[in-house]
Amino acid sequence: MANKKQIKKSEKQKVNPLMIGAVAVAAIAVSLVLFAPKGSKNSNAGSVNTTETIASANTAEAAASSKKAALNDDGDVVINVADITENATFYEYDFNGTTMGFFAVKASDGTIRTALNTCQVCNGSPYAYFEQQGDSFQCQNCGNQFSLDMIGQERGGCNPVPITEDDEKANDTKIVIPAKYFKDNAERFTNWKKF
């Protein structure tokens, strides 16, 4: 009878290390699931994505500060020059269900600059839009900053898509941007602000 008790005791001692190992593995697996970053697909899974943080923090503010573009009878956008200051006015224009953003701002030389509110490099991203920070504009996708005085002056690179003098008709009181200009650029906004 002593032999049976010794065998059972010996079996219990073998089970305990296996049980402890299994519990440890399960605990590690649960910890990884609970504490792993959510939604990250890159090797920097534990790092903070500042672009997403900035964009999400400013999205409500940017949406609240955008206004619907005023249109004339031909469907062209009309901007009143008197309404434009050094603080950009952000507009939204709807082209066949695609929301397009643009803005107007007064440069330091007093001229009114207009641009599509999407980055020429990043425009496939929902975060490829600019927000004003003092006298510069920052792409919410890549973080590049662009001088207010360069708005409407440069094509290519990480800056807002310029609406040039050739693209618009302007006088002392208003700027008119033809509907055709928006139609020609609608593709740039396929994913714009679709978070």
13 pLDDT more than 80: no
Instruction: For residue 168, name the pLDDT band (cuts at 50, 70, 90).
Output: very high
The structure's pTM equals 0.67
- Domain at 50-189, CATH class: mainly beta
Q: What is the pLDDT of residue 49?
A: 44
Mean pLDDT, rounded, for 68-79: 97
Q: What is the pLDDT of residue 17?
A: 66
What three-state secondary structure class fits 46? coil
CA distances from 177 to 66, 99, 131, 164, 174 (A): 17, 16, 21, 10, 10
DSSP state of 120: T
Give the integer Cα–Cα distance in Å for 106 and 143.
22
Domain residues of the chain, as ranges? Answer: 1-42, 50-189
Q: What is the pLDDT of residue 184?
A: 97
Alpha helices per DSSP H over 36-104: 50-65
User: Around Cβ 59, how many Cβ atoms within 10 Å?
Assistant: 17
Contact 131, 152 (CB under 8 A): no
Residue 111: closest CA among 131, 92, 86, 89: 86
Q: Which residue has the higher pLDDT, 112 or 44?
A: 112
Q: What is the pLDDT of residue 51?
A: 42
DSSP state of 110: S
Mean pLDDT, rounded, for 119-144: 94
